[in-house]
Structure formats: structure tokens, C-alpha cells
Amino acid sequence: MVTRIAPPEKPWRLASPKTMPLIEIDQLSKHYQVYQKQEGLWASVRGLFHRQYRQITALDAISLQVERGEFVAFLGPNGAGKTTTLKILSGVIHPTSGTCRVMGHVPWQRANAYRRRFALVMGQKNQLWWDLPAQESFRLHQHIYQIPAEQFQATRDELVDLLGLAKLMRQPVRELSLGERMKMELTAALLHRPEILFLDEPTIGLDVVAQHNIQQFLKHYQEVRSITILLTSHYMKDIEALCQRVVIINEGRIQFDGSLAEIVGKFDQERIVSLRLADTTGIADLQQFGRVTRSQPPQVQLRIPRSQVTSALTEILNRYQVDDVSVSDPPLEEVFAHLFTQGREATDQGASAPKEDMAGSRRLTGEARH
Amino acid sequence: MADDVRTKPQQSANRIVNEPIPDATAGDGITGTGPLVYWRVFRTFVRNSLVRSMGFRANFWLECVSSVCWTIMNLVFFKIVFSYTDSIGRNTGWGENEFFVFLGTTWIITALIQTFVMPNAQEFSELIRTGHLDFALLKPIDTQFLISFPQMVWSNLANLFLGILLVGYAVLRLMADESNPLTLGFTQVGLYLFFILCGLVILYSVMIAMASTSIWLGRNQTLYTFWFYLTNFYRQPMEIYQQGMWGWTLWGFFTFVIPILLVVNVPARILAEPLRPGLDERTWSLAGLTLLVTLLMLGLSRWVFQAALTSYRSASS
């Protein structure tokens, strides 16, 4: 099931004598006990005295290696285990079993020497002081991370400059927009120049412009600083723009590990051909070339198997008067949706717990974990 | 806006590239987590919380006024009590002025706890429930320190000044007492301050240990209720419990199990000397016990805290 593809060789890796990967995860599992809440008042009262728990598997023996300087995306539906992985890697939670080493440290031992070298940014939680200008939180970080004054100023000014935050430094965080706040969060997280950056849905809830800004920033920053970034996101745009390597997690297992191009090549066997016809006669016959997904004469959209695209196009151009033609890949969303359903079907065939049930109990406890 | 960011990287690129790329051992260069770091972080907490409370000016003054009012009513209440009696308990030595030293000490300790400890204990419980404790766990600094001091509610400090005033006033009255004057040396004042500190540490330990249980309980909103129970018991001279089976049981429980009776009693006894001249043997043995209890409670709270952290589940994403 798991497709392991070695990450591409990087020039700086050749220069470095170390061959040990930066992040090594081996057979990592995480189970939660979750209180089963029954419906209704009487059941709730009973729940005060006698509780039923069920076990949820957030991570099911995943193994993974990441090299220095990689930009890896974790992709998967809600509750797949992406956030859990990041939380274990950053030492916030302990795994149930398995081993993990990041830069030679066991994350959940929470050694200060380790904690100085990475940062975690979460789109859903913010760490800046809500009622104060972000500048005050930055100062606190300076003292906590013991950043020398000169380095602190240089780093801060550089980040503020890159993210265009200069005008917002004196505003209380609560008065910033979501996008501005996320930029401030990123700045705070990067002040101590971490070597690894864990990003948990950094663009969640942002508008297209803000998303784009943050993508541009991350891309640029990762390139010049050659830091290692692990990112989870729901937005395919993030992943398309940023990551060379994609790890697909579903139901606590790694379904795929490789480059974006490989996914598209492997799972996406069709191309989308859009036509604008000058003459719509015989439009119905187009379906012999492929699946017609949209027909609004004079516009027609077809799905044609990848291998037949060339021959089909030649034929179509011969037979019809075509004003305009374009060929594109199906949207990534579709590819992933397909992948996730595949994973689910595979699990459902096994005698495991029904999926619906699991999602339901997560929602009820109000403490869903990813 | 989008153009802004798109063009910026090119401009600043040179500046960044010139700096050395961090190598694997860069982080190990700084290993010092000496007291200086903690002092600087603490100072920043003080600064930030001050800026924050000044930001809500009206709220700040309202809080000051309401807590001062409550405290003055408290004083009036005991004035009335002492219009019916000369002392609290027979032959205990807690006359009006001695008791006002006790009362002032209670205010001082309560004000300090409500300024520095309670907001953080409460916030800690909240951090656990919302999963924001994540950020504290990421920082290369002692987690217990980090969650113990970030929030300070400065308006609660108003009572500290009232307490100091009351203690000062009552001590002067005692020193002016012609029949049995109080004589104070520097050692005694020093010991008074030291045992106030011990009392603060004991209360801090109890509250932090209580708040830590939120990790197992999911949420613990009984903190303030619990604090209310505690203050109800520690604000009385311990002699009032020392009679009858129930009284002695309470005394034993709050001296040895949850040792909050020592918090105010020991420093107040040292300063007011209810059985003067001189400090009686009992005061010294209580002081010794307090010293031991302080260290024990601090150790215990640290142990509970660490144990709780390993069970942290980090709510939500």
C-alpha cells in the first residue's frame, strides 16, 4: 500500500558528511481513550457514574524519514493523524508506542537544547498575547529563547519586512485580521531561527490573497534559509505551490509518500479537454472520444484517458471546426478525494470499526484530535 | 498587497543569503538557563501584564475600588466583633491589636496570591482545556515557571497596601501598649517577611497542584471555589480550632494534610507575639514545621505537575 520513494538528492546534502536523516519516525502509534457519550439526559446522568470508553487510533505504526532542507506536506482528511504527527514531533504529546528522533533528540523528553531548534505554528491556535501589540510577545520570545539583541532585531526586521507588517506592530493582536495575525504568528515562531518548522494548517480560513502571501513567504524563506518544513494543509494550492514531497495520511496510516508529480501520474489517468466549437453540428458524437463532463454549446468539456489524448485531439480537429482548445489536469482536489476514498474502502474491507461511529464520538467529546 | 510580497523577496534576498546557514549544532551553543533568563522573562511578564491592565483603565480602577471596599467592610466586621469581646479565644493573647496584625497579614498574603497565583492557576486550567498549553511546552524554559507567572492582576494589589497599613498601625499600637509593650528587632521583621514568603509558596503549591489535575479531569472550574474554602480556614488564628473533637480534627487536617493554617498564623505570631514577652516555644516549633512543609509542598506540587504533563492530550487542532 505504501509507496516509498526516496527524496530527491539535494546539493547541500552531498556537502554534509552526516548521512543520518533529520527526522526519523519508526512504527509510531498513538491511541486515545475517548469517553463514549450517549444521547439524552438520562444517559448523561448515568455517564457521571459509569463511563464507557472506546479506543481511537490516531496513528497506526507510521514510519517516515525526512532529510535536512526538505519541504514536506502532510495531506489527509480531518482526523487522519496529521496534526497528531506534528504534535508528537514537537514533543507536545507522548506517543503510545514507537520511536522517533528529531535532530538526535527524542521530542517528548522536551530537552531545552531540542526546543531551541524548532518551531510549531498552528492555524487554529495562537500564542501571541491577545490584548497587546505583537511586539510585546516578540520581546518575550527574545528572552525565553535567549536571542542576542542584535540578532533579534535583525531577524525581526527581516521578517517584518518580508511579510509587510511594519505598520501593524503597534496594534493589539485582537485588532488584527486573521491573515495579519497568522503573519505575526509566523514571525514570532521564526525569531529564534529554527532549523525545523512545523506548520499545522497555516492558511486555514484565509482569503486567497493572504494565502498566496503566506505561500510566497514560506517558499522564499525555505529556499534562502534552507530550513526543513513539515506542513499540513487542506488547501491543494498550498501544496502545489510549496512542496516537493507529499505524504498522504489517512486513518492513521501513510497511504502514499512521494512527489506531487508522481501522485498525479499514478492516480490521475485522465486529462480534461475543453473545446469551443465554431460549428456545433455533430456535437453529440464527441462522446466516442471520452466522457463528456460538461456540454454547453458551443463549449464542451471531455475527459479523455491520458494515453489517447493525442490521437483523439487529432481526430477531433480533423472532424470539427474548433475555435479554441485547451488540455489540463484534473484538479488536485479530485485526485486526493479519490485517493482518500480508496484508503477508506481498503480499511472497510478489513474488520475494523465503522468509520461513521468514530467520527461521531470525536465530535461529541468536543475534543477532536487530528 | 500581493504584489508587495511578491517583489519583496528579491530585494531582501541578498541580505539573508549573506548570513551563515544555521548548522546542526547551532542550537547547542546556548546552554545557559541560569536565573538571569528567568528574571528577564519574569520582568517581561510584569511589563506585559501592566501594559495590559493599563489598557483597560476603567476596569482597572473599578477592580481596585471594589476590592478595597470589600476589605474595609471586613475590617468593620472585626471592629464590631471586638466591641463584644477583648480577645479571640481565652488566654490566647489575640487581643484587638494582635488580631489586626493577623488580619493585615491575611490581606497581604491574599492580595499577593490573587495578584500573582490565582490568575495563573485559573489560566493554566484553561490552557489545558483549550489545548493552548502546547505553546508553553514548546518553549526552551521550565514549563512550570512559564505557566506560573504570565498573568498578573495588578488591581488586586490594592489590598496589599491596605494590609501593610493595617499591620503597621496595629504594630505601632502594640509597641505603645503601656502594660505589655511589644519590642521588635530586625530579626523578627526579617523572619516575618520570610515566613510570609513560605506561606505564599505553600498556597502556590496547593493551587498549582489543584490546577494540574485539570489535565486528567479535562477541566477544573472549582479552583476559585477551592480557594474560597482555603481562605475561610486560614484567616483565623489556629487556637480557635483547638478544642473539642471536631475542632482538633480540623486543626490537624489543615496543619498537616493541607497545611494552610500555617500560612498566616506563623508570620503573624512572629510579629505580634500574642504571648509576649518573647516568642513562645510553640511558635518556634510551628515555624520549624512551616519550613519543612514549604519544601515538601513545593516538591509535591512539582511532582504532580510533571506527572500531569505526561498525560497531556492537547485538545483539538
- pLDDT, tens digit, 9 for 90 and up, residues B27-65: 434 445 578 889 999 999 999 998 888 878 888 889 889
Same domain, A261 and A273: no
Residue of A nearest to B143 (CA): A110
* pLDDT digit string, tens, across residues B185-203: 899 999 999 999 999 999 9
Which of A211, A240, A265 corresponds to the end of one domain? Answer: A265
Residues A301 and A260 in one domain: no
Mean of per-residue pLDDT scores for chain B: 85
Same domain, A213 and A293: no
Q: What are the DSSP calls for A55-81, one per residue? A: EEEEEEEEEEEE-TT-EEEEE-STTSS
Which of A146, A216, A370 shows the shortest C-beta gap to B9?
A216
Q: Can you tell me the mean pLDDT for B2-28?
A: 41
B96 within a domain of the structure (yes/no): yes
Q: Are B259 and B233 in contact (CB under 8 A)?
A: no
Confirm whether B205 is domain-assigned.
yes
Task: Answer whether residue A20 is part of any domain.
Answer: yes
Q: In this structure, what CATH number is given to the domain that contains residue A316?
A: 3.30.70.1150
What does the angle CA A152 – CA A104 – CA A141 come to, to the nearest 5 degrees? 20
> Do A220 and A249 have their domain in common?
yes
For residues A210 and A323, membership in a common domain is answered with no
Residues A199 and A324 in one domain: no
User: What does the block give as the cell for A152?
Assistant: 533579534
Which of A59, A130, A139, A146 is the best substitution to test chain B (most B C-beta atoms within 10 A)?
A: A146
Residue of A nearest to B218 (CA): A367
For residues A254 and A275, membership in a common domain is answered with: no
* A1 in a structural domain: no
C-alpha gyration radius of chain A = 24
| A182 found inside a domain | no
pLDDT of residue A14: 43
Domain count, chain B: 1
pLDDT at A54: 83
In a domain, B37, yes or no: no
What whole-number distance in Å separates Cα of residue A228 and Cα of residue A223? 10
- Rounded CA gap, A167 and A25, in Å? 42
Q: Which amino acid is at B77?
A: F
Is the Cα dihedral A325, A328, A330, A333 positive or negative?
negative
Residue B8: pLDDT band by 50, 70, 90 thresholds? very low
Which residues fall within 8 angstroms of residue B201, CB to CB, at 6 or more apart? B294, B297, B298
Nearest to A343 by CA among A246, A232, A249, A235: A249
In the prediction, which pLDDT does A342 show?
A: 66
Is B138's CB within 8 Å of A226's CB?
Answer: no
Output the pLDDT for position A344: 59
In a domain, residue A357? The reply is no
Cell 492530550: give the residue: B313
**β-pair partners for B144:** none
Q: Are A91 and A167 in contact (CB under 8 A)?
A: no
**Same domain assignment for residues A284 and A246:** no
pLDDT confidence tier of residue B2, bands split at 50, 70 and 90: very low
Query: Does residue A78 sit in the same domain as residue A42?
Result: yes
Q: B-chain residues within 8 Å CB-CB of A200? A: 317
Would the CB atoms of B317 and A368 count as touching at under 8 Å? yes
Residue B270 DSSP SS3? helix
Q: Which residue of B has its CA nearest to A108?
A: B310
Higher pLDDT among residues B137 and A235, named by residue: B137
Q: How far is A245 from chain B (nearest CA, A)?
A: 22
**Could you tell me if A15 and A107 lie in one domain?**
yes
Note whether A42 and A105 are same-domain residues. Answer: yes
Q: Pick the last residue of a domain from A246, A265, A284.
A: A265
- pLDDT on residue A121: 94
| Residues of chain A neighbouring B2 (CB-CB closer than 8 A) | 209, 212-213
pLDDT number for residue B33: 57
Amino acid sitting at position B249: T
The answer to whether residue B110 is domain-embedded is yes
Band of residue B4 on the pLDDT scale cut at 50, 70, 90: very low
Determine, yes or no, domain membership for B40: no
Domain membership of residue A124 (yes or no) is no
* Portion of chain B with pLDDT greater than 70, in percent: 88
- Residue A176 CA to residue A165 CA, distance in Å, equals 11
Cβ-based contacts of A144 with chain B (< 8 Å): 37, 41, 139-141, 146
Q: How many domains does chain A have?
A: 2
Chain A hits for B218, CB-CB cut-off 8 Å, are: 367
Provide, as residue numbers in chain B, all residues whose Cβ is less than 8 Å from the Cβ of A195.
Answer: 22, 24, 26-27
- Quote the ipTM score: 0.78
pLDDT at A335: 73
Residue range(s) defining the domain that contains residue A219: 11-117+195-265
Contact B52 A129 (CB under 8 A): yes
User: Are B88 and B178 in contact, with CB atoms under 8 Å apart?
Assistant: no
Taking CA–CA distances from B133, the nearest residue in chain A reads A92
Same domain? For A111 and A213 the reply is yes
Q: Domain limits at B127?
A: 56-310
Q: Which residues of chain A have pLDDT under 50?
A: 1-17, 349-370
